[in-house]
Amino acid sequence: MARPRINVPSTARRGEIVEIKTLIAHPMETGFRPDESGRLRPRDIIHTFVCTLNGEEVFRAELFPAITANPFIAFTMVATESGDLAFHWTDDHGTTQTETVRITVT
């Protein structure tokens, strides 16, 4: 998989609701597109996106081929504690890409 762009404040007050925005490069091949010879290109998408804070799941998304190429996902989270915000993207090959960002909650 390729590079993501993650937008999350590096610091937050306890109890504050923060908005998290993620963008990752991926063709999200639907499985419904024909190639030049008329054969369908096989489906190849990111089907699951999970966000955890210190290992605990905060948000999950199941994605289908109707989600665009280079998927953008934005959601919110209550800043409860400092730690590692981990983002996991899993594709049809079973590969998971993980990116971790540190958040400091005061």
Partner 1 sequence: MRRHALTAALLLALPAVAGEIGQAERRSGFDFMGPDTQALQRDDTANPGLLWVDEGAALWTRKEGAAGRACADCHGDAAESMRGVAARYPAYDAGLGRPLDLEQRINRCRATHQQSPPLAHESRELLALTAFVAHQSRGLPVAPDPDPRMEPFREHGRQLFHRREGQLDLACSQCHDDHWGRRLAGNPIPQGHPTAYPLYRLEWQGLGSLQRRFRNCQTATRAEPYAYGSAEYVDLAAYLMERARGLPVETPGVRP
Partner 2 sequence: MTAPHRDTLNRRRLLAAGAGAAVVALVRPALATPQGMADAIRAFAEGAARAQPGRVRLELPALVENGNSAPLTVTVDSPMTPDAFVRRIAVFNEKNPQPNVATFHLGPRSGRAFVSTRMRLADSQTIVAIAELSDGTFWSDSAEVIVTLAACLEG
Contact positions toward partner 1, by CB under 8 A? 2-3, 5, 7, 21, 23-25, 27, 68-70, 72, 74
Cβ(26)–Cβ(73) below 8 Å: no
Cβ(49)–Cβ(20) below 8 Å: no
- Scanning 2-10, 17-25, 85-93, 98-106 for contacts with partner 2 by CB under 8 A, the matching segment is 17-25
How many angstroms separate the CA atoms of 32 and 62, rounded? 19
Cβ(15)–Cβ(78) below 8 Å: yes
Could you say which residues in the range 45-104 bind partner 2, by CB under 8 A? Answer: 53, 56, 58-69, 71-78, 80
Beta carbon nearer to partner 1, 7 or 54:
7
